[in-house]
Amino acid sequence: MIALSDDHDGGTEIYATDPDGTDVRLLTDVRLLTDVAFATDPSWSPDGTSLAFDDGTQIFTAKADGVDTALVDTGRVDTRLGIERTTVSRNVSVWRPTRASNDEPTNPSVLAVDSRIDDYWSSGGYPTQWVEVDLGRPTKVAALRLIAPDLPSRTAILVLGRADGPASPYRLLHQFKGPTIFEQELAFAPRRAWRGIRYVRLQIPVSNAPVGWVAWPEIEVDRAAG
């Protein structure tokens, strides 16, 4: 099934169609959630059961049949001095392909990039464990934002990146350290954006900390502007 954006009743909505162009059907009606009828940039989840799209300032998700459309990321408005500035989400990891050192069947790695903090990837095992997201192409990465689980003191949280190509080595982008509490936000932005990053890996290595089964709620990777 192919998802695309097209004109609808004076706005733009998301449609689905079979690969041969038949069975075209309307999936979204974002005017039910926002004043602007402008839905674009659809992206299917890896299992094809849902998709993400945006309206230029906000990110939405919906099931494959269009029901349960939900707003998951709102633009933030700064009205200081009477000037409105809308910040558009630059998260390029949402619903991108993932892989992991191990998955529990009920908690696959894609749950770490679904823009929800009420679910999580679980490895079902002890360190060392990792989860990795494929950004789809070399990307200029400006910031990381992680939603953490409970982790004890001295836990190392490594964020690694590598360029395109199977021979490209991983390099350490940043290291966070425990302790963390459930749903704590961890954020980091380098002074200069990392260039050419296609794969971002979060890894919990073996350490002296008493870490249980490794799991992770959410990973966000923001691209640089321009």
Reduce the secondary structure of 129-191 to three states and give it as a string.
EEEEEEEEEEEEEEEEEEEECCECCCCEEEEEEECCCCCCCCEEEEEEECCECCCEEEEECCC
Q: How many CA atoms lie within 13 A of 225 on its CB side?
A: 3
pLDDT of residue 85: 41
Partners of residue 148 on adjacent β-strands: 184
pLDDT of residue 221: 95
Residue 67 has pLDDT above 60, yes or no: no
The CA distance from 74 to 34, in Å, is: 11
Nearest to 173 by CA among 148, 151, 150, 142: 142
The CA distance from 71 to 61, in Å, is: 7
Three-state DSSP at 31 gives: helix
Average pLDDT over residues 123-140: 95
Least confident among 86-100, 127-141, 190-204: 86-100
Please list, in sequence order, all residues whose beta carbon lies within 8 angstroms of the beta carbon of residue 136, skipping any fewer than 6 positions away.
92, 96, 97, 198
Reduce the secondary structure of 9-21 to three states and give it as a string.
CCEEEEEEECCCC
Do 143 and 189 touch, CB atoms closer than 8 A? yes
- Predicted confidence (pLDDT) per residue in 173-218, tens digit: 999 999 999 999 999 999 999 999 999 999 999 987 788 899 999 9
Do 60 and 52 touch, CB atoms closer than 8 A? yes
pTM: 0.64
Q: What percent of the chain has pLDDT over 70?
A: 81
Do 164 and 198 touch, CB atoms closer than 8 A? yes
